[in-house]
Amino acid sequence: MFDLFFPDEDYSSTYAIDFESYYEKGYRAVIFDIDNTLVPHDAPADERAIKLFSRLKDIGFRCMLLSNNKEPRVKKFNDAVGADYIYKADKPLRRGYVEAMKRLGTDRDNTLFVGDQLFTDVWGAKRVGIRSILVKPINPKEEIQIVLKRYLEKIVLNHYYKKKAQ
């Protein structure tokens, strides 16, 4: 029942992911959520995020930001990291993910998605068949609607970790 919300993998942080190994496995693009995935909610791109995108480009990845935020927030972050972006993506709806792959010139077999929320990021990626990576939120301080979703996520994550341990 909860399986449709389970990520393919999980990491403590976006910055702990071994992107080189994914490239070796044939992945060619990474789509990212921004808030609490790359930086704390509403924070600008920091040095760590800028270095990550530079590293990903050096590896050979194409990168995309896929956010439910408005354009000014997403564009400002994107200007600092130099990727491409889609704002007001309406995650978990499929259209943003499909458009991202179209722009990246990739498909579901060679695209990764990295995000911090099960019910938007992971579920949306799974709906289009993209490998989903869940990371722990960077900062626990979040908007009230996200805080409420986190309570439900805890239930699903409990089932995920039990299944993963088997």
Q: Provide the pLDDT for residue 3.
A: 85
Q: Give every CB contact of residue 24 below 8 A, 6+ residues apart in sequence.
A: none
> pLDDT tens-digit profile of 68-113?
999 999 999 999 999 999 999 999 999 999 999 999 999 999 999 9
Q: Which domain holds residue 25?
A: 3-165
pTM: 0.91
Angle at 65 (CA atoms; ends 61, 67), nearest 5 degrees: 155
First to last CA, the chain: 17
Provide the number of structural domains found in the chain: 1
Q: Is the peptide bond before 137 cis (omega within 30 degrees of 0)?
A: no
In eight-state DSSP terms, residue 66 is E
> pLDDT tens-digit profile of 126-144?
999 999 999 999 976 666 5
Please give the helix or strand (H or E) that residue 104 lies within, else none: helix 94-104
Domain of 97, CATH number, reads: 3.40.50.1000
CB atoms within 10 A of CB 164: 12
